[in-house]
Structure 1
Amino acid sequence: MNQNVATSAPFLVFTDLDGSLMEHDSYSMEAAKPALAELARRGVTPIFASSKTAVEIIAVQRASAITAPFICENGAAVYDSSGKILTAFGLPRASWLDAVHQLRERLSLRFTGFSDWPAERIAELTGLSEGDAGRARSREFTEPMIWQDTQANFQLFQSEIQKLSLTTLEGGRFISIQSQFDKGYAMKWWQARHNQPRPFLVALGDGPNDVSLLAAADAAVVIKSGKSDQLDPQGPATVIRTSIPGPAGWNDGIRQILNLLDSQQLLIY
C-alpha cells in the first residue's frame, strides 16, 4: 500500500481517522485492511483528513505504510506526501491562545485543554501512548478542550471568541477551539489542484467535525458512531450509512462504494 496518489486516479478517497479508519479506542486499522488492499489495487490511496496534528498523521502513515498527502487539525493545513506543508488556512494557535486563556480567567469559565495538560493527562484521556500523546499535544492551529461549565456560559464563550475570529467545533472526544476552516474546504482545495476533469470525491467520517468533509464530497460514507445520527450531509448525490462502527464500518462503506462504481450506479464525471 506504499503508493502515492496519482492525479490520474478516477476518484479520490478522503477519510477521517479516529472512529473511522481507526478504532476509536485501540487505534487499530486491522478491520479495514481488505478495503485498503482493494483501493491500492485500483491505484487509490486514502488521503487522511483528521483532527490529528501533522506529526501524528506522519507517524500513522509510517506505521501503516500509507504514503499520501493529508489534511491535519480539522482542515487547518494541507501537507504533501513527503510531509511538507502546502498551504495553511488556520490562524496559528500561538497567535490567539493567550487571549483565550485571559478570556477564561476574566469570565471565570470552567474548561481545560491540551495546553493545560501534560502528555500523561492526554494519554489518560485518549488511550494514546505517552509518545503519541506528546505528538498530539504539538498543536499548531487548534486547542482541543473539555467544557466543564454551563451551556449558557458556552454560548457566552462562543460569542466572545468570535471577536478573536475564532469558533468551536465538536469532535469525537473534545471540542476544538480554532479559526474559521474545515476539512471540506481543504478537500476542495486539493481537488482544485487537479486538471480537468476534476476527480470524483469520496469522503468517510463519523463525527460532527466531519460534516463539512462529507457535505463537500460527491459520495459520502457516514460511519456508525455515538454521534453519527447527528450527521446529515447536504450535497452528495450518494450518502451511505454503515451499520458497523470504526474500521469494520469503513471497510463496508468502501465495499459499497466500489460495488456502485463497478455496476456503474455511481458515475465519475
Structure 2
Amino acid sequence: MDWVQNIEAAGNRIAGHVRRTPVGLLDLPGLAHPIEVKWEQMQHTGSFKARGAFNTLLNGPVPRAGLVAASGGNHGAAVAHAARSLGHDARIYVPEIAGPTKISLIRDLGADLVVVPGAYAEAAERAAEWQKATGAAQIHAYDAPDTVAGQGTCLREWEDQGLQADTVLIAVGGGGLIGGAIGWLAGRRKVVAVEPANAPTLNTALAKGAPAPVEVSGVAANALGAKQIGQICFDLAQAQGIESVLVKDRDITAAQHWLWKSARQLVEPAGAAALAALMSGAYTPAPDERVAVLVCGGNIAPDPLA
C-alpha cells in the first residue's frame, strides 16, 4: 500500500472538517534543543481521533443502519462528532473504564451510547455483534486503512507547519496514530513508540515477532488500553525497525503535572505518555538530537471544569 499517497488524499479529504492544531516549543532541562510539540489535544473532541473518523466517513457510503464503533472513549467521541456533523446515526460501545468524562462527552454528542462491563475488548465484541445484526458500518478505532491514513494526516500537517526534529515520540494504544505517522514519514525521521509498562502491546509484539494479547491496566488504560496491537501498525513498525520504550504510571502522571505547571496544558495520561519517556529517561536523545513530542489527548478525568 502506498501510505504516503493515501495520507495525502486523506488530508485533502478531511480539510475543513478537522482543526489545524497548533505547534510550539518547550524547554526541558538537560536537552540541548527545545522540544517541538504538537498540541493535538486541541483537535475536535479532544484527540487526534477525529482525523480517522472523518476520513472513514468521507471515503465511502454509509448504510441506512448508520455507524457503530467500539472505543475506550476518544474514538467514540470522534465518531459521534463526525457522524453528527455529516448527518448519520451512530451507536458507540464503551467499557466502564472509559470514565465519566469521556462517557458524558459521547452522550452529549448525540450518539446512541452503550456502556459495557470490562475493557475495550468487551466493547469491541458488542460492536461486532451489532454490526452483524444490523448491517451498520463499523468504524474501527485503529486497525483499518482509512483510520490509519486519517491519523497519518497529523504528521503530514506537522511537517507542513515546519517540523524540524530528527526524532518524533508518539504514544501507542492500538497503533492507529503511530501507524499513520510511520506510513507518512516513510523512514525520513526516527519514530519512537512510547507505551505504558502496564499496556505494552507494540513492545510485546515486536519482541515476539507477531501481535499478541497482553493484560492492560494503569492510568492510561482508557485511551492506551487495546489488548493487542493492530496488524497494520505492527507490520509498519516491524518493517521500519521502530524503537519501542515503556514508561511507568508515575512517570506519566509526573509529565501531566509538568505540562500543566510549565505550559498550562491540561492533558490526559495518554496525552502525556510520550513526554514521560523523555522526562523519565526511558528515551535519552543523543547530545545534538532534535526531538519532537506529539501530545495526543486532553479528555482528562475528572474534568476540573465540569
Structure 2 length normalisation: TM-score?
0.40
The structure with the greater share of residues assigned to strand is 1
Task: Give the alignment's TM-score, normalised by structure 1.
Answer: 0.44
